Amino acid sequence: MHGFSYKNASLFCDDVDLAPLAAEHGTPLYVYSATTILDHYRRLDAALAGVDHEVAYAVKANSNLSVLRLLANEGAGFDIVSGGELFRVIKAGGDPAHCTFAGVGKTREEIVYALEQGIYSFNVESEEELRYLNEVAGELGVIAPAAVRVNPNVDAKTHKYISTGKSENKFGVDFEAIPSLYERAAKELPHIKLRGLQMHIGSQLTSIAPFIEAVEKVAPLAKQLKEKHSIEFWSIGGGIGIIYQESLASGTIDWWENQPEQERPLTIEQYGREIVPRLKNLGLRILLEPGRFIVGNAGVLLTRCLYEKKGRAKTFKIVDAGMNDLIRPALYEGHHEIVPLKQPQSNERVAVDVVGPICESGDFFCQNRELPDFQPGDFIALMSAGAYGFVMASNYNSRPLPAEILVEGDAATVIRKRQSLEDLIEGEL
């Protein structure tokens, strides 16, 4: 589910009317539904009920402290990729002992910080990194818990920039090289405790097949490592895709909930049904690292139309959000539904490009899309912007970062203030 729907022709996030919210706080404005975030977390947790597991939320998807706090209170673990993300998790009340640390380029400072904080596991991406981790742990006189990321060479069939499980990607260690690496590590690296195995084949997967392929390929390896090296966990990564494209014809924006299951791309219940039986008898703790599934459909970016520019070839709707606020369309040709906050009276549609104010031709949210004919002054919502939205925003063109709001029932709380012009130059000489 998600918490966005029209009530009396106004778009609501749960019990909060979004147009007055946008008017009060200004645009561009990120708005998240706490109910939706919690619903997704709980449904995923329930889908995995048949196996000993932990959901380690991928902080990179949305790292606002209030979002992290919400999930920490639910008992989530966290998958982090930097010292900065660990700092955020700790500030939000998360437990470092439930954090896994991924990424191909961990620095000495990050490793020391994570060792001091006592994280659950370093998810190591190369033999070189494992040796360096051993060295740093040795200097500190501690043992570093580690899992190696296996690259299973499985095609995730997603956008090339977010596919990670093929041999040509920079991630992980070749499937075939894993057993000998664990042997060497056990013999030669006294400051490493091999605690698990990790994999992640890509992001925004909308079919179950690549997940099944990867799990079936790697399960015997996980079993072997458990027998030989007593590993205790296997993280099967994140990557569960969400629906970005919705039919607005009916005037609702949650139609997929009503679709027959076989016509939906991938549901979390299907994921649980297919994956759990394949993991059940391994005797390993299963970790999951979902980011987008938890927060993607739980957030929107609100923006106001500034101008309508009728060019010779096209009509442009120019809005006050730009690619610096939401870069997914520019970077991955990502599709975000665009809906007016006031539901249009007629079903009439016009073909338009919705573009931002940034001085780049790639600064668009859609091209030649049939949309309701909203006008300057009107607010619109870019849907499904809760994951990889604000976290990828930048100050490009010296634009202050937008504010973020968390809705809980009928309460809307500012969880990050809009940046001021003074904020833009803080730290500069």
Could you give the residue numbers annotated as active site? 359
Distance CA 367, CA 347 (A): 20
Show the CA angle centred on residue 298, arms to residues 292 and 299, nearest 5°. Answer: 95
Distance CA 328, CA 233 (A): 33
Q: Please, what sign has the CA dihedral across residues 286, 292, 297, 302?
A: positive
Least distance in angstroms from the C-beta of 73 to ligand LLP = 21
Q: Are 239 and 205 in contact (CB under 8 A)?
A: yes
Distance CA 231, CA 5 (A): 46
Distance CA 412, CA 406 (A): 6
Among 289, 353, 378, 404, binds ligand LLP (CB under 6 A): 289
Q: Please, what sign has the CA dihedral across residues 115, 121, 126, 127?
A: positive
Short-list 47, 84, 45, CA closest to 68: 84
Least distance in angstroms from the C-beta of 238 to ligand LLP = 3
Binding to ligand LLP (CB under 6 A) within 10-49 occurs at none
Q: Determine the interface stretch with ligand LLP among 179-187, 260-268, 290-298, 395-403 (rule: CB under 6 A).
A: 290-298
Least distance in angstroms from the C-beta of 42 to ligand LLP = 16
Among 162, 186, 212, 424, binds ligand LLP (CB under 6 A): 162
Least distance in angstroms from the C-beta of 348 to ligand LLP = 32
- Is residue 330 a contact residue for ligand LLP (CB under 6 A)? no
95 burial type by CB count under 10 A (0-12 exposed, 13-18 middle, 19+ buried): middle
Q: Tell me the residue length of the chain.
A: 429
Among 200, 229, 304, 399, binds ligand LLP (CB under 6 A): 200
Among 388, 401, 403, 415, binds ligand LLP (CB under 6 A): 388
Among 172, 196, 239, 329, binds ligand LLP (CB under 6 A): 239
Among 98, 226, 328, 399, binds ligand LLP (CB under 6 A): 328
Short-list 151, 147, 117, CA closest to 129: 147
Which residue number, 33 or 204, has a Cβ lying nearer to ligand LLP? 204
Among 35, 36, 151, 203, binds ligand LLP (CB under 6 A): 203
316 burial type by CB count under 10 A (0-12 exposed, 13-18 middle, 19+ buried): middle
- Is residue 152 a contact residue for ligand LLP (CB under 6 A)? no
- Is residue 129 a contact residue for ligand LLP (CB under 6 A)? no
Least distance in angstroms from the C-beta of 345 to ligand LLP = 34
- Is residue 234 a contact residue for ligand LLP (CB under 6 A)? no
The single-letter DSSP state of residue 400 is P
Helix segments in 250-362, DSSP class H: 268-279, 292-295, 328-332
The single-letter DSSP state of residue 223 is H
- Is residue 292 a contact residue for ligand LLP (CB under 6 A)? yes
Which residue number, 85 or 320, has a Cβ lying nearer to ligand LLP? 85
Which residue number, 161 or 307, has a Cβ lying nearer to ligand LLP? 161
Binding positions for ligand LLP, rule: CB under 6 A: 58, 61, 79, 102, 162, 200, 203-204, 237-240, 289-293, 328, 332, 387-388
